[in-house]
């Protein structure tokens, strides 16, 4: 795969934020770093604050300070320190329910791992100098470095149940992944030099737990919240979807509630602003028959762009699509079928992305069915062998499958069914009596896989469309015959014979115009008729047979088959 971009140093005056779940005070105050050394000191101060917290243990029957120390404390922390810390003068016979406070820094802890629960696109992990291809099921230890390509996305799950989604063209280091036995305390520290991540942090049952995200010039300590963070050379942004955020930097601190965001300004958090609301996606159909599919949604005042994301799972653990559009519309062109989850949010001029709107849709099996041309909904078409037409698909190896049923019938037992059709039209090979019918069309790919059926189109077959009646006259020895014009694409077959059965043809000619001139026709009685010819060559029943008698000054044309007497001069 193409190696993702390496991170580059950014300025030291970026925004620093600390995130909280429900507390009214920040978990840490992020310092404005003047150098990487100062940033490291700030991180240590944050960790020190976490370590300074106490874990409170409620004694159970059979507990005593010594077995508690043996189970939970580091080997270099003796039980006497635990007694002094809790001011216990008589450790014997402490009743169940007694609260024992233990500094987190004394607790025995062990490293955990992060598991890739979903991955899409090219991404790599560097573990102890080895480069691994990222795929679902891969477990990564602390110290691992993740890099995602432009179109990739992946989700990591941590031991505490929290998840982080890494978007395309991003780099993320797993700095620390610690668990403190069965205390329920976890310390998870991530470093995001560049790119975008979305964190869904499980609410903390222990106040000493920490979930820390470090970006250039910014540290975020999180306890049970959902937020997005962006780190790039242009700006740092924080967008809070749930929970509370205390953002600090450059001697300035602001509190962000859910639905608010801030943009760094010279290393200082800007005034909190409301995120743009989620757009209404109800105009997007729940069932998408053809791909590419046009999508549209409610325009949001103040939006300059929109982000459209698509995923195969409702949690958006990986993305099949992550794009931006300047309009409240887009074309969905994915090689996907079945359940699909769409997510749209508005983007303000300051770059802050708004609240998410989601919609579940179903993509019909592919290839997409062609569009029905004729007969379409409730069309009337001349019998007895109607011609059905549809749009041609451009994929190589495409074939078509067609079914016709009566209006009251079922396609489970169709009246007519044809497979492996290569053209984009087909005329029935047997006569259909006048009446009401329905038809549908589907496509199969080069491997024989059939896509979804089109919607059933009702239509009516009318009696046969006979050819037009003709009129004729003779001028200077030239027989001139005329009839009504045809529709676009139709032609005519003109026949002139010496017998009413048209076995002795003198003229049998295809003409596109609605007239014909015939010189040198000898005198006598002649029979003529006009046959309507369709674009595909199908000939309708002939029009009425007429007779013409030539060779006298005043010729009479007699309607022999149900016709009327016409006088031709």
Under the banding of pLDDT at 50, 70 and 90, the label for residue 342 is very high
Q: Is 60 part of any domain?
A: no
**Domain match, 270 and 156 both:** yes
- pLDDT computed for residue 493 by the predictor: 96
Helices (H), 112-249: none
Q: How far apart are CA 204 and CA 104, in angstroms?
A: 15
Query: Does 126 score more than 80 pLDDT?
Result: yes
Under the banding of pLDDT at 50, 70 and 90, the label for residue 552 is low
Under the banding of pLDDT at 50, 70 and 90, the label for residue 4 is low
Q: Is 77 part of any domain?
A: no
**Domain match, 240 and 327 both:** no
Query: Does 554 score more than 50 pLDDT?
Result: no
Under the banding of pLDDT at 50, 70 and 90, the label for residue 495 is very high
- pLDDT computed for residue 282 by the predictor: 97
Q: How far apart are CA 217 and CA 229, in angstroms?
A: 13
**Domain match, 312 and 193 both:** no
- pLDDT computed for residue 172 by the predictor: 96
Query: Does 149 score more than 80 pLDDT?
Result: yes
151 or 34: which leads in pLDDT: 151
Given 240, 274, 308, which residue is the final one in a domain? 274
Q: How far apart are CA 375 and CA 386, in angstroms?
A: 9
- pLDDT computed for residue 223 by the predictor: 65
C-alpha atoms less than 13 angstroms from C-alpha of 414 in its C-beta half-sphere:
14
Q: How far apart are CA 436 and CA 416, in angstroms?
A: 14
Is 316 within 8 Å of 165 (Cβ atoms)?
yes
User: What average pLDDT does range 151-158 have in this prediction?
Assistant: 96
**Domain match, 522 and 388 both:** no
Residue 28 is encoded by which pair of tokens?
């840490």
Q: How far apart are CA 150 and CA 81, in angstroms?
A: 53
Task: Give, in degrees to the nearest 5, the angle at Cα 315 between 314 and 320.
Answer: 75
DSSP per residue over 543-567, as a string?
Answer: ---EEEEESSSSEEEEE-SS---EE
User: What average pLDDT does range 459-476 have in this prediction?
Assistant: 89
Q: Is 544 part of any domain?
A: yes
Which helix (H) or strand (E) segment holds residue 36: the answer is: helix 36-52
- The answer, yes or no, to whether the previous bond of 140 is cis (omega within 30 of 0) is no
User: What average pLDDT does range 523-532 have in this prediction?
Assistant: 93
Look-up of token digits 């896989």: 449
**Domain match, 240 and 254 both:** yes
C-alpha atoms less than 13 angstroms from C-alpha of 494 in its C-beta half-sphere:
22
Look-up of token digits 């505490």: 160
End-to-end CA distance of the chain: 87
**Domain match, 245 and 171 both:** yes
Cβ atoms within 10 Å, residue 351: 16
Query: Does 391 score more than 70 pLDDT?
Result: yes
Query: Does 49 score more than 80 pLDDT?
Result: no
Q: Is 63 part of any domain?
A: no
- The answer, yes or no, to whether the previous bond of 367 is cis (omega within 30 of 0) is yes
186 or 7: which leads in pLDDT: 186
- Number of folded domains in the chain? 4
**Domain match, 530 and 514 both:** yes
Q: Is 76 part of any domain?
A: no
As separate numbers, helices (DSSP H) first and strands (DSSP E) second, the chain gives 3, 46
**Domain match, 141 and 252 both:** yes
Q: Is 441 part of any domain?
A: yes
Task: Give, in degrees to the nearest 5, the angle at Cα 560 between 557 and 564.
Answer: 60
Q: Is 327 part of any domain?
A: yes
Q: Is 213 part of any domain?
A: yes
Given 252, 274, 296, which residue is the final one in a domain? 274
Look-up of token digits 């089109």: 454
Given 413, 446, 464, which residue is the final one in a domain? 464
**Domain match, 45 and 133 both:** yes
**Domain match, 454 and 479 both:** no
Is the pTM of the predicted complex or chain greater than 0.85? no
- CATH number assigned to the domain comprising residue 150: 2.60.120.1440
**Domain match, 329 and 378 both:** no
Under the banding of pLDDT at 50, 70 and 90, the label for residue 106 is very high
Pairing of strands 110-111, 171-179: antiparallel
- pLDDT computed for residue 366 by the predictor: 92
Is 478 within 8 Å of 518 (Cβ atoms)?
yes
**Domain match, 117 and 42 both:** yes
CA neighbor of 226 nearest in space, from 177, 282, 275, 171? 275
Is 32 within 8 Å of 265 (Cβ atoms)?
no
User: What average pLDDT does range 334-352 have in this prediction?
Assistant: 95
Is 313 within 8 Å of 119 (Cβ atoms)?
no
- pLDDT computed for residue 465 by the predictor: 83
Q: Structural domain of residue 251, as residue ranges?
A: 16-51+109-274
Is 367 within 8 Å of 398 (Cβ atoms)?
yes
- CATH number assigned to the domain comprising residue 544: 2.60.40.10
């Amino acid at each position: 795969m193409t190696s993702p971009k390496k991170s580059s140093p950014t300025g030291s005056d970026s925004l620093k934020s600390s995130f909280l779940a429900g507390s009214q005070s920040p978990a840490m105050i992020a310092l404005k770093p003047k150098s990487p050394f100062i940033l490291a000191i700030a991180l240590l101060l944050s960790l020190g604050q976490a370590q300074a917290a106490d874990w409170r243990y409620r004694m159970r029957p059979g507990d005593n300070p010594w077995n508690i120390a043996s189970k939970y404390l580091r080997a270099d922390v003796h039980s006497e320190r635990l007694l002094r810390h809790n001011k216990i003068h008589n450790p014997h016979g402490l009743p169940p329910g007694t609260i024992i406070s233990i500094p987190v820094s004394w607790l025995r802890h062990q490293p955990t791992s992060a598991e890739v629960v979903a991955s899409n696109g090219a991404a790599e992990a560097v573990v102890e100098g080895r480069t691994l291809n990222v795929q679902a099921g891969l477990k990564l230890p602390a110290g691992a470095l993740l890099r995602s390509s432009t179109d990739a996305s992946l989700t990591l799950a941590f031991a505490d149940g929290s998840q982080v989604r890494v978007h395309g063209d991003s780099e993320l280091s797993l700095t620390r992944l610690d668990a403190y036995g069965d205390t329920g305390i976890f310390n998870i520290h991530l470093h995001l030099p560049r790119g975008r991540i979305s964190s869904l942090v499980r609410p903390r049952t222990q106040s000493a737990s920490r979930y820390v995200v470090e970006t250039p010039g910014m540290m975020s300590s999180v306890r049970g919240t959902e937020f997005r963070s962006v780190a790039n050379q242009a700006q740092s942004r924080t967008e809070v979807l749930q929970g509370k955020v205390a953002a600090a930097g450059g001697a300035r601190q602001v509190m962000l509630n859910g639905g608010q965001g801030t943009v760094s300004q010279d290393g200082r958090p800007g005034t909190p602003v409301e995120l743009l609301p989620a757009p209404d996606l109800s105009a997007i159909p729940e069932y998408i028959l053809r791909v590419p599919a046009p999508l549209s949604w409610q325009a949001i005042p103040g939006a300059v762009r929109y982000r459209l994301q698509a995923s195969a799972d409702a949690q958006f653990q990986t993305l099949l699509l992550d794009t931006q559009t300047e309009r409240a519309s887009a074309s969905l062109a994915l090689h996907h079928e079945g359940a699909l989850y769409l997510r749209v949010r508005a983007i303000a001029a300051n770059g802050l992305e708004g609240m998410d709107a989601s919609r579940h849709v179903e993509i019909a099996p592919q290839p997409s069915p062609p569009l029905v041309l004729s007969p379409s909904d409730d069309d009337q078409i001349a019998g007895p062998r109607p011609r059905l037409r549809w749009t041609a698909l451009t994929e190589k190896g495409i074939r078509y499958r067609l079914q016709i049923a009566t209006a009251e019938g079922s396609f489970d037992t169709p009246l007519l069914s044809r497979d492996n059709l290569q053209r984009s039209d087909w005329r029935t090979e047997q006569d259909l009596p006048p009446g009401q019918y329905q038809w549908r069309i589907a496509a199969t790919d080069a491997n024989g896989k059939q896509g979804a059926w089109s919607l059933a189109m009702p239509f009516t077959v009318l009696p046969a469309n006979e050819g037009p009646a003709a009129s004729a006259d003779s001028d200077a020895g030239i027989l001139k015959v005329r009839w009504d014009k045809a529709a676009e694409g139709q032609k005519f077959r003109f026949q002139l014979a010496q017998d009413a059965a048209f076995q002795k043809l003198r003229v049998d000619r295809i003409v596109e115009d609605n007239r014909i001139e015939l010189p040198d026709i000898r005198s006598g009685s002649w029979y003529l008729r006009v046959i309507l010819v369709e674009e595909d060559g199908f000939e309708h029943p002939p029009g009425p047979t007429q007779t013409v008698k030539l060779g006298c000054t005043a010729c009479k044309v007699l309607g022999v088959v149900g016709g009327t007497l016409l006088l031709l001069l």
